[in-house]
Structure 1
Amino acid sequence: MIKGFKEFITQGNVIDLAVAVVIGAAFGVVIKAFVDSIINPLVGAFVPSGDLAKWVIPIPGLFATANLGIGAIISALITFLATALVVYFALVFPMNKFKERRAAKLAAGVVEDEPGLPTEQELLVQIRDLLEKQKG
């Protein structure tokens, strides 16, 4: 059981996923700061309280007035939409274009030439040439 867990942890996919989560969290903080510092004040100029995060709708109750924090909900939605928009245009859209181009090349029969390893004969020729240089 421990051996299986060790193999799972040392797989590249788990490490990649961990890195993606950390970068995603940092990316989320940047987007939240952008929305809180720029977008929310602009939207807040059009709400009664002047600050989107502090915009509440009072609801009279039996004993006290309850305040629904509608501004905080709208702010969270704006943050979500901004994050989704940036992720789409920065990551998803370019990757989809790359895949489309690659699929079009494969459909057209264009094979991408990857540099292969040298043959045994080519290696022997290179070794011979290096040995001759060392002698001379």
Structure 2
Amino acid sequence: MSEKQGVLTGFKTFLMRGNVVELAVAVVVGAAFTKIVNTVVEGVINPVVGSIGPKDLEHYQFCLQSPCTFDDKTGAAVDGITIKWGSVLSASLTFLITAAVVYFLMIVPMNKLKERLDAKDAAEAAAAPVEKTELELLTEIRDALLAGRHDGDGPANAAVLAAQRKVSGNGDRPGPEGPSGASGQR
């Protein structure tokens, strides 16, 4: 049962990562824009290119190995080897248009929104008071106790504090005398 829960927890963590969610959004948005992009290529770009030559980019090709003969109805090569560079150009234009639409309509607005939210979070974090850790509080208590014990000593008090900090590793842990820094004698 524990292994199953561990696997499910790991799977949930994997799914909730930002990259996986962003990838899923990209796939959905790309699929949604495919029809629009294909329509723009077929309805706008192909006619513009067709004014120079054939109506469709798919028909642009050249013969690599002679003799090349083409079917008049379909435009397909009957004999010879052809390179269909029009298909490559059409696919490249489709890709560029899709990438531009996704970038300018999805990525740029999302990045601006994320920047605003991050700036707001940073402002809230800067306004929040910083809480001290237990270790810092204990160090302050120890220092106050030592200062109170040696009130009239002045330089001796500073020397005891410096020695205590050195022994305790800059206030990270109490020394061998305990948290108060005294050896038990008064």
Q: 1:19 to 1:98 in 2, by over 3 A?
A: closer
Alignment partner of 2:54 out of 24, 49, 54: 49
Structure 1 gap ranges (5+): 113-136
TM-score by length of 2: 0.44
The residue type equivalent to 2:97 in the other structure is A
Greater per-residue helix proportion: 1
Q: Distance in 1 between matches of 2:6 and 2:118?
A: 37
Report how far residue 104 of structure 1 moved: 3.6
Alignment partner of 2:114 out of 99, 115, 126: 99
Q: 1:50 to 1:24 in 2, by over 3 A?
A: closer
Report how far residue 74 of structure 1 moved: 0.2
1:9-63 alpha-carbon deviations (Å, 9 max, x no partner): 8x975xx6897444532322221222122222212323x3343221111223479
Q: 1:24 to 1:5 in 2, by over 3 A?
A: farther
Match of residue 33 from structure 1:
39
Q: Judge conservation of contact 1:54–1:71 (CA < 8 Å) in 2.
A: yes
Q: Judge conservation of contact 1:53–1:72 (CA < 8 Å) in 2.
A: yes
Q: 1:85 to 1:23 in 2, by over 3 A?
A: closer
Q: 1:80 to 1:18 in 2, by over 3 A?
A: closer
Q: 1:18 to 1:77 in 2, by over 3 A?
A: closer
The residue type equivalent to 1:24 in the other structure is G
Q: Distance in 2 between matches of 1:62 and 1:45?
A: 27
Report how many residues are paired.
109
CA RMSD of aligned residues (A): 3.6
- Structure with greater Cα Rg: 2
TM-score by length of 1: 0.57
Q: Judge conservation of contact 2:30–2:98 (CA < 8 Å) in 1.
A: no
Match of residue 96 from structure 2:
81
Alignment partner of 1:58 out of 53, 60, 63: 63
Q: % of aligned pairs identical? A: 36
Structure 2 gap ranges (5+): 69-78, 126-186
1:49-90 alpha-carbon deviations (Å, 9 max, x no partner): 343221111223479422211111100000000000000000
Q: Does 1:69 align with 2:84?
A: yes
